[in-house]
Structure 1
Amino acid sequence: MTAPFSRYVALGDSFTEGVGDVLPDGRIRGWADFVALGLQASAGEPIGYANLAIRGRKLGPIIAEQLEPALALNPDLLTFNGGGNDIMRPRVAIGWVVDETVKLVHRALEQPGLHVVVLAGANPSRHLPMGALMQKRGDQLADAVLTALKPTPVTLVDNWADETLADIRYWSVDKLHLNALGHARVASNVLTALGVAVPEEWGVEEVAAAGSGSRSRNTSAYYREFVLPWIGRRVTGRSSGDGREAKRPTLLPVD
């Protein structure tokens, strides 16, 4: 069987890096890794996969640091998600995020033989402090980006509108990043949009059919462990990705 794609590169921030899906040996997995596994299973032969995403990156640095190195790898499939860290800042220009995303897509489409997938991130807003503001901004961003890109030959995956993903069962303890179940569902959404079979052993549909989890409470311990450190980084101009490099900067066979 011929692989639909044989050289896959992922761009983005913590969502694409896979933060929240931690393997027993401490490695970070995530939905892009699942997508690569699904593509390889469909192909029945090894494919190359690189992941240039770094947690904490706003859209500007994603474009400046990741786009051209990704294109230099000559992929035939590129996935992109960005802007989530921008909408979490006190001030954000949604129009600028949309315009820069469209520019990135058009630059990528200049690459012969490259198919581009643009994802809206999953929606954590119902579980977070000040979630209403994130919901409003996320709605605006997802709608504007997907609308702007509809005339282009890209595959659009709207995880933000996936109500199943909003359930607390799909989120890690920090409630901002997906857990393994959430990342597997996002990968399922991507593979389905590409017309690639989702491996049955992932159990994505069985998990979704199992019913919703109870709504969680944000305790004082949660604020101490997750919210206050996040505020501290914002105040001091630091990022969780400072000093980090991409976990998979070159095309390697899927493990």
Structure 2
Amino acid sequence: MHFAAIGDSFTEGVGDERSDGTTRGWADLVAAGLAAARGEPVGYANLAVRGRLLAPIVTEQLDAALTLEPRPSLLTLNGGGNDMLRRHIDTANLVALTERAVRRCAEAGVRTVLISGADPSQQLPFGHLVRRRGEVLTAGVADLATRYGTDFVDVFHDTEIRRPEYWSPDRLHLGPTGHRRVAGLVLAALGEGAAADALPAGPAAARGPLVELRYYCEHVLPWVGRRLRGRSSGDHRTGKHVDWVSVRPGERTPTDAWSPGN
């Protein structure tokens, strides 16, 4: 199998950083899980870049994925999260962009898995707007998957992953446990692993005025500053695996080994 992943920070693995600062994330864990479940090496490419809007994901990244040799046998696509944070959004256009990508993959004989991002809205300023837009986009992609017979993993409506314990301190990106849960959801949908485990219930984290002030200073204001300057966290970045790397069962390189149920 040759598995390619395209998308933004969700697929790149932001929030699940190793000690050396490199990202891991659910797509890396899926590659390792596929290798473990099959008992054989899996080719893995990850062209996702943080901050990317959907249009470059389904053009530039998809172009690069479909020109890999050999061609991917499996491709995951997630996008639209950064579009939803823009002032104006055309959800119908996002669904149309996704549909063209699905058609291209079908014509190329590539199995496609559409994945909706996790819902961060209950933790974010103006979260109600993000939730409303996310509901519309997820419904459109779900309908698209039904019409084309394409696999769809609805992480947006996974209520378990909305718990704060699954998220990184910026409340926008998943943390390590969140990425593990997404990997479990994807592998289960592919028939390559058991159902994703849930974290045991625990006390809710306290969020007093000082905690919220620190959050805004460390995460919200820098994001606003980048937007005002027309910059993105993904400027001058490329995908972390733009060509095939081999993920073998039980190996820790290029990613930590992971298997369903671990």
Please confirm whether the aligned pair reaches a TM-score higher than 0.5, indicating the same fold: yes
- 5+ residue gaps, structure 2, are 248-252, 254-262
1:241 maps to a residue whose letter is G
Q: Is the 8 A contact 1:168 1:213 kept in 2?
A: no
1:81 aligned residue: 78
Q: 1:145 to 1:212 in 2, by over 3 A?
A: farther
The two structures, once aligned, show a CA RMSD in angstroms of 1.4
CA distances 1:114-151 after superposition (whole Å, capped 9, x unpaired): 21000000001101111111011111110111112212
Q: Is the 8 A contact 2:47 2:241 kept in 1?
A: yes
- 5+ residue gaps, structure 1, are 1-5
Q: 1:72 to 1:216 in 2, by over 3 A?
A: farther
Q: Is the 8 A contact 2:12 2:27 kept in 1?
A: yes
- 1:173 & 1:122 partners in 2: Cα distance? 15
1:147 maps to a residue whose letter is D
Q: 1:47 to 1:174 in 2, by over 3 A?
A: same
Q: Is the 8 A contact 2:6 2:46 kept in 1?
A: yes
- 2:177 & 2:199 partners in 1: Cα distance? 13
Q: 1:143 to 1:228 in 2, by over 3 A?
A: same
Q: Is the 8 A contact 1:168 1:216 kept in 2?
A: no
1:120 aligned residue: 116
Q: 1:186 aligns with which of 159, 182, 190?
A: 182
Deviation of residue 213 (structure 1)? 5.0
> Matches of residues 137-216 of structure 1 in structure 2 within 5 Å?
137-198=133-194, 204-205=196-197, 208-214=198-204
1:57 aligned residue: 52
Deviation of residue 87 (structure 1)? 0.6
SS in 1 for 2:188: helix
SS in 2 for 1:161: coil
1:3 aligned residue: none
Q: Is the 8 A contact 1:167 1:212 kept in 2?
A: no
1:232 maps to a residue whose letter is G
Quote the sequence identity (%). 47
Q: Is the 8 A contact 2:145 2:151 kept in 1?
A: no
- 2:193 & 2:142 partners in 1: Cα distance? 24
What's the TM-score, normalizing by structure 1?
0.92
- 1:131 & 1:220 partners in 2: Cα distance? 17
SS in 2 for 1:160: coil
1:245 aligned residue: 238
What's the TM-score, normalizing by structure 2?
0.90
Runs of 4+ in 1 over 6 A off after TM superposition: none
1:42 aligned residue: 37
- 2:113 & 2:203 partners in 1: Cα distance? 30
Q: 2:21 aligns with which of 23, 26, 35?
A: 26
CA distances 1:49-108 after superposition (whole Å, capped 9, x unpaired): 000000000011112210111011200000000000001101100111011111111111
- 1:169 & 1:221 partners in 2: Cα distance? 18
- 2:152 & 2:83 partners in 1: Cα distance? 20
1:251 maps to a residue whose letter is W
